[in-house]
Chains A and B, each alone.
Chain A
Amino acid sequence: MRVAFERQKYLIDYTLAALLRRKTRNLGLLLVYALLVFLFASVLLLSQGLRREAAALLQDAPEVIVQRLAAGRHDLLPADWLDSLRRIRGVSDARGRLWGYYYDPAVKANYTVMAAAERPLAEGEILIGAALARVRAIGVGDVFSLRAASGPPALFKVAGILEPSSELLSADLLLLSESGFRALFQFPPERYTDAVLTVSNPREASTVARKIALALPSSRPILRSEMLRTYDAVFDWREGVTFLALAAPLLAFAVLAWDKAAGLSAEEKREIGILKAIGWETGDILRMKLWEGALLSLTAFLLGYLLAWWQVFHGGARLFAPILKGWAVLYPDFRLTPTVDPGQILIVLAVTVVPYIVATLVPGWRAAIADPDAAMRG
């Protein structure tokens, strides 16, 4: 065992020295290799972070949301529906929500406007999201003007700015009192945008949804688990598509690696010839070549992965954010929670190292089987 170990140690020692002798050539390959790992790892780390963030946010989302449909479109929900919903066994509470969108031509963005019953707001007061406050350059005490549905501008006094820690949800949010909301949009009384239910036992949510669909045929119940599933599927799909798009650089890299491994310089050929002449076997040369690949792969992997990690969690993930995150005028500014998932590392290894090894094996073997005299003569 010890002999075998020592043997590998000497082989690594020799391989490292040989790699360092041809610094520039190997550095080029290493950089391209690390870049490839960086690209794949960035996609995975970013979408994993986003998925985690979405799941954490939805943890606090209501178990069931009920909407009313008219001709297949979302319609306003009558207040008496809330009583019918509360009567369904398993539902501990049902609340009507008032919310909608407001297009602001000044910043060319849509705001989410919501009535916040749980906040003590007077009719003329408003709370605004941090991103919105930045864009409109307003603060507490300023007057914020919105165009009411009836035509004239409605003036609101900014009573506060929502905490930046909730920016993922509140970037473009405006919170009003119920009467303020109804006045702004001329919303009919006894009507709500939708209803949210609290279900005592979350495992009963799907049964409750079935009962709702039976009791109120024109309703559409939406479960939290369905939203989570949709998010998962969307991120998986975006990741998968980006991966497929990266197949072309991967192929180009495999060709480059093949070419580099196949184009041995005269000096390298002579070196292999001499090694074989002084007693190295074909197996030893092949092992040396494999160590060369392994050392290069390991360095490139560490370099690429660490760089991707830094880029995603500390550098703002600028590279793939437009594809994976989506896009909006008032985009929230948020930090992802850094994580490392062993399954992800396995995936990156599989898509980068496996093609590299396949591409370099045959040229390595060709070099290893050369006859010493032929190799030395070049």
Chain B
Amino acid sequence: MLMSPALVALGLIAFVATGAVLLACGFALRILGCWDLASGGELQVRLERRTYLISTLLGFALGAELLSLLLFVHTAESLSSQFVGAMCATGVLNANAFGFPALLLKIAVFFLAALWLLLNRIDNRGYDYPLVRLKYGLLLALAPLTVAEATVQTLYFLGLKPDVITSCCGSLFGADGRGAAAELAGLPPEPTLVAFYGTGAALLVSGLAFRRRLRLGPLFAAGCALAFGVAIAAIIAVLSLYVYENPNHHCPFCLLKAGYGYLGYALYVPLFVAAAAGLGAGLIAPLGRIASLRAVVPGEVRRLTWLALGGFGIFYGLATWVIVRSNLVLLG
């Protein structure tokens, strides 16, 4: 195994977050079974008191999970110099079978944790704990993922051996290869760009409409999820080519390198924040029907929608700048 402070820090975060989530799960089961706001019994008072602790603890643990995604990608990128054959994070993640599953689990936990934090934030502002069951129900769904993420990440770190010859991004994200990454890399540029900007326009329209009619929440959430997927596909299929000014280099991780001005962070951070905010806005909009949240939800949804549109705006702006500035002629 490799020994590096970043791996120690990531391990510590995973350990603390998993511990907090498991602790909270035991509590969640009692909440789902015994919560009765009308009761003034001792158990209910204890549960109400404890929910403060649990929700604060989870707030920190899941907040740390959000940061750990960033640290994980940064670490994978910085370890690339230690593996034979690795040019960027792709090679490091490919160094054993657990690298990419760990990344995908971390992304899944990122979105679910963001949603949970949002629900918690809204729940704390209603006077009668309106979302307590929903919140802890979601936690029970989140727990197995967190445990799986911590386990897979640990297996990945333990299995990192510098003498393993790994493959570089060219073989995974090559248009001639096989698998999902190669499929994405092989997408034709022109239709991909049309889909990319088409989704962006559709998202803007649906976002503006959603701000007026909260009923459109699920539609906006679906739009954000779609735009996120299309954006990732566009990065692999087209945008990366413009950045590297090379018609065959499709890697979405080389963008994180200092040589490209850390452009990847400038693209991915707004994209992930926008997608999480958009999904959250769309999914919490229907909660406005709950009496104690009627005053809270519309304002929150509007703010999140702005955040989502702003984030996607930054992403699309940067992407367009990359295309315009590039010396590569891909179309026409």
Contacts and interface: CB of A to CB of B under 8 A. Distances in A.
B28 to A, nearest CB: 17
Interface in B212-250: none
B5 A346 contact: no
A149 interface: no
B2 A233 contact: yes
Most buried by A among B6, B57, B67, B299: B6
A350 B12 contact: yes
Contacts of B74: 343, 346
A1 B78 CA distance: 39
Given A236-B4, A243-B8, A347-B5, A354 B52 contact: no
A282 B3 contact: no
| Interface secondary structure of A, over-half rule | helix
B56 A290 contact: yes
B71 interface: yes
Interface residues of B, number: 36
A307 B71 CA distance: 24
Nearest to B59: A290
A241 B3 contact: yes
Nearest to B71: A346
A350 B5 CA distance: 10
Nearest to B73: A343
A244 B12 CA distance: 12
B205 interface: no
A229 interface: yes
Contacts of B124: 283
B289 interface: no
B195 interface: no
The size class of the interface chain A forms with chain B is 20 to 34
B53 interface: yes
B9 interface: yes
Interface string A87-108: 0000000000000000000000
Contacts of A29: none
B52 A365 contact: yes
B60 A357 contact: yes
A351 B5 CA distance: 9
B13 A282 contact: no
| Interface secondary structure of B, over-half rule | helix
B12 A351 contact: yes
Interface in A218-266: 228-229, 232-233, 236-237, 239-241, 243-244
Nearest to B19: A358
A369 B13 CA distance: 27
B49 A369 contact: yes
A237 B303 CA distance: 45
A236 B7 CA distance: 10
A344 to B, nearest CB: 8
Contacts of B52: 282-283, 286, 365, 368-369
B84 A243 contact: no
A347 B52 CA distance: 28
Contacts of B68: 350
A224 to B, nearest CB: 12
Contact of A361 (B4, B49, B53): B53
Given A229-B84, A343-B78, A350-B64, A286 B56 contact: yes
B15 to A, nearest CB: 10
Given A354-B13, A361-B60, A240 B8 contact: yes
Interface string A193-231: 000000000000000000000000000000000001100
Contacts of A244: 3, 8
Contacts of B4: 236-237, 239-240
Contacts of B49: 282, 369
B82 A351 contact: no
Contacts of A355: 12, 16
A44 interface: yes
A361 B3 contact: no
Contact of A350 (B3, B9, B81, B303): B9
Given A43-B5, A240-B2, A343-B6, 14 more contacts: A44-B5, A232-B81, A232-B82, A236-B3, A239-B5, A240-B3, A240-B7, A240-B8, A243-B8, A283-B124, A354-B60, A361-B53, A361-B57, A362-B53
28 contacts: A1-B299, A229-B84, A229-B162, A233-B2, A236-B4, A236-B5, A239-B3, A239-B4, A240-B3, A240-B4, A240-B5, A240-B7, A243-B5, A283-B124, A286-B56, A343-B6, A343-B74, A347-B5, A350-B10, A350-B12, A350-B13, A351-B5, A351-B9, A354-B12, A357-B60, A361-B53, A365-B56, A369-B49
Interface of B: 2-10, 12-13, 16, 20, 49, 52-53, 56-57, 60, 64, 67-68, 70-71, 74-75, 78-79, 81-84, 124, 162, 299, 303
List of 3 A-B pairs having minimum Cβ-Cβ separation, nearest first: A240-B3, A350-B9, A365-B53
